[in-house]
Amino acid sequence: MTSYVPARWLPGAHAMTVFASVARPLPRPAARRERWELPDGDFLDLDFLGAPATDAPALVILHGLEGSSRAAYVRGLAALALRAGLAPVALNFRGCSGEPNRLARFYHSGDTGDLDQVVRRLAAARPSRPIALAGFSLGGNVVVKYLGERGDDLPPEVRGGAGISVPFDLARAARALDARGFWNRVYRERFLRRLRQKALEKARRFPSRLDAAAIRCARSFAAFDECVTAPLHGFASAEDYWVTCSARRFLPGVRRPLLLVSATDDPIVPGETVPAEAARANPAVTLVATEAGGHVGFVSGSPLWPRFFAEVRAAAFLAEVVRR
């Protein structure tokens, strides 16, 4: 699938986004979970998916905001990766595996430290085994930032990455979600309801770190990032977090092959924030910007047999990259 033909039975970005999020078929590759202890006393849960060949290159998959290794798009990419001869490993960000993490902190769009620990542990376990990275939405921001901030200073096993529906400008994405409108409210509350629950649980465990009253009142991403994300993770403010961690500013530093798939009608990531010029300026970056597709949607085919263009494209790209 080299070009994207949107599914006619899903008219508009919202239909595409909602179907891909809540109604798409769910591949069910077998999963083996491992808990990795971290030097700071916390842990990460990873799912090793399918039964790949023992010498298969690894593909580390990162989910989006309030997703997990069980997200349909993660499992969809994993199934395609297995068919392409890769060994998918789905990383659950802290607090996203079904069990609260131990520390006051949890995860955010710019947290590349945990990904680095996963990459280095995989590389140490099997030196010279190729490793590819893929991330969706928030996870895509982490992948782009990781590749860009480290540039040539990456383990040689890391051959490249892919980001799907990356929020290149976190401030613009937050403001888009915080804007008025029915669908903005639907998306915003779907995310914030879960985030508030997690933050309130942390406020109960770490009352000196968080203001429970402020969390209960947080009805926008600006408010949530101001009272939770920024103070927990060492940022001066929500604006400081957004500016510091936006993937766009790290694209010039990318030195490994990177595929980016974005839709200009994305209701969460404003189309004008897709960095076409920055992508053209870096020969390591391949940008595929489609007119339709929604957010982590890109559905084509029939209702009985839908296909997902971004995942197909990413699996093919990464399978080629690890074998160069």
Q: Which of 137, 165, 246, 300 is catalytic?
A: 137
Distances (CA, A) of 176 to 121, 169, 183, 270, 278: 37, 11, 11, 7, 22
Q: Which of 21, 225, 266, 300 is catalytic?
A: 266
Q: Which of 63, 108, 233, 295 is catalytic?
A: 295
- Burial (0-12, 13-18, 19+ Cβ within 10 Å), 293: buried
Question: Does residue 178 carry a catalytic annotation?
Answer: no
Question: Does residue 108 carry a catalytic annotation?
Answer: no
Torsion angle, CA of 177/313/284/265, rounded to 10 degrees? Answer: -30
Q: Are 69 and 46 in contact (CB under 8 A)?
A: yes
Distance CA 244, CA 238 (A): 10
Question: Does residue 266 carry a catalytic annotation?
Answer: yes
Distance CA 67, CA 84 (A): 24
Residues annotated as part of the active site: 137, 266, 295
